[in-house]
Amino acid sequence: MRPQIITQALGFAGLTPFYLFLLGIAFLQDYPRALSIQGFVVYSLAILSFLSGALWGNTRQLPDGEQNFHLVVSNGIVIFAVASVLTAQVVLAVLLLTLGYLALLWYERRTQMTRNWYSAMRAQLTLGVVFAHLLYVGLNVAMLD
């Protein structure tokens, strides 16, 4: 199988846990719901960190003068994501993680010279992730009522 197909399949499959956790929040009670609430946040932190690591890995392909800033951005996004979760306020954490995903996509698109299948896929996946995060906020706010 071609790496592009595997990358796309894994990328879109990576959206599944976000939506499964949302189903758990919407339809489960007590401990399973609490696990879904926390699982969503932890999974989001893991994926945003993974994407930042991919940015780190792509830095090797850049000229020496451009590598340092990419490395700092990559690490900065992970630190921001961890700090978001450490707020211990799930809705705030998810809103901040959403900003992290959008910032990473913005940075990738700003620094990428070519638009190809990968950049299109990243935009689609980020849209799916942001939508899941907004649903998460909506579900959590609805639970407060």
Q: What is the pLDDT of residues 89-140, one digit of tens each?
A: 999 999 999 999 999 999 989 887 567 899 999 999 999 999 999 999 999 9
Question: C-alpha distances in angstroms, 142 versus 44, 69, 138?
Answer: 21, 41, 6
Task: Confirm if 15 and 128 have CB atoms less than 8 A apart.
Answer: yes
pLDDT tens digits, residue range 22-81?
Answer: 999 999 999 999 999 999 999 999 999 999 998 888 888 888 877 888 899 999 999 999
Tokens, residue 66? 């451009």
Q: How far apart are CA 100 and CA 11, in angstroms?
A: 18
pLDDT at 143: 84
Q: Name the pTM for this structure.
A: 0.93
